[in-house]
Amino acid sequence: MLLAWPVWLVLAAVFDLARRKQRLPTVRLLAFALCWAWIELGGVVASAVLFAIGRGRNLESHFRLQRSWAGSLMTALRATVGIRIRVENPEVLTPGPVIVFSRHASLADSLVSAWAVGNVARLRPRYVLKRELMADPCLDIVGHRLPNHFLDRGSNNQSEELRGVAALGHGLGAADVAVIFPEGTRTNPAKREKILGSMRERSPERATRLERLQHLLPPKPAGAIALLDAAPHADVVIAGHTGFDGLDTFGGMLRKLENGAGEARMWFVRIPRSDVPTEGIIEWLDQRWLELDRAVAERIGESENQRREETR
């Protein structure tokens, strides 16, 4: 990719300018792809060195490597794509142990979550990740050396998958965070309507409660409950963000860049464990998700008003 970069650069620039895209969104994405490739190569080499010197099982070394990887990717994202990311209140995450239920809107927000938790808050995150992410070399190698669980969403053995999720909650300390994305997949309106349609047949009362969602998908409670049961003393943190909506596809990324990447915001709401019920947990989670949906709508409105003011 590096050797062919001059050719890619010219072709991408011609493609963008022919479509009158003065912000050169294709050039920007290709530039990020080149940075990503070098960062991945660096991460794989570093993980090989750790293995060679006998530190292949050293958790602290791999958490440092993960922070370096996430920080480098965030720097590349800002330099190429131009998106600015503001973490409003990272202090809410400390002290641990905490369980984070995070919104999932795009291909980028998992990275931003790792950066916010690991680099900004300086905590050690444990993630529930989909198995498809093992296609990323660093996530595959380093992710398996750290206490993460790669979830097989198509598995017929749900109980085994839930045991893997629950294992992340065991032994959480003051510097540890277990992170799960209860929606299970990146959100968009079509997915939301499909999930609600299926829910209306299985659980009409819950579907009625959640049909007010505008930006989030209905949460899947099984993994969240498994983590809560495994870590009975951990507080809960709800993680929200805006600025990544529509970035769930390559076309969505191009459209976002055509209009300017702008600013992304991430924030956290901490809930003491004493306020988390032991019964009715599904309804409790639904209510937290409805609150998060309203908070997302408010911040999107604020960003749109600010953008209109800036263009006047």
pLDDT tens sequence across 278-306: 899 999 999 999 999 999 999 888 777 76
Lowest mean pLDDT of 37-46, 59-68, 88-97, 108-117, name the range: 108-117
91 vs 87, 95, 207, 269, CA distance in Å? 10, 8, 35, 10
Express as a percent the part of the chain with pLDDT over 90: 62
What's the DSSP call for residue 169? T
Amino acid at 42: G
Overall size of the chain counted in residues: 312
Question: Which H/E stretch holds residue 201?
Answer: helix 189-202
Q: What is the pLDDT of residue 256?
A: 66
Q: CA nearest 257: which of 77, 113, 7, 116? A: 77
Q: What is the pLDDT of residue 242?
A: 87
Secondary structure percentages of the chain, helix, strand, coil, to 5: 55, 15, 30
C-alpha distance across the termini of the chain, in Å: 41
Q: What is the pLDDT of residue 99?
A: 96
Burial class (CB in 10 A: 0-12, 13-18, 19+), 154: exposed
Q: CA nearest 102: which of 211, 202, 199, 217? A: 217
Mean pLDDT (the chain, rounded): 89
Q: CA nearest 111: which of 181, 41, 168? A: 181
Cis peptide bond prior to 147, omega within 30° of 0:
no
Lowest mean pLDDT of 21-25, 30-34, 237-241, 282-286, name the range: 21-25
Q: What is the pLDDT of residue 22?
A: 80
Enter the tokens of residue 197: 């349609």
* Model confidence at 259: pLDDT above 90: no
Q: CA nearest 192: which of 289, 302, 259, 304? A: 289
25 vs 142, 154, 251, CA distance in Å? 31, 34, 10
Q: What is the pLDDT of residue 80?
A: 86
Span 86-140, pLDDT tens digits: 899 999 999 989 999 999 887 677 788 889 999 999 999 999 988 988 999 999 9
CA–CA distance, 202 with 182 (Å, rounded to integer) = 19
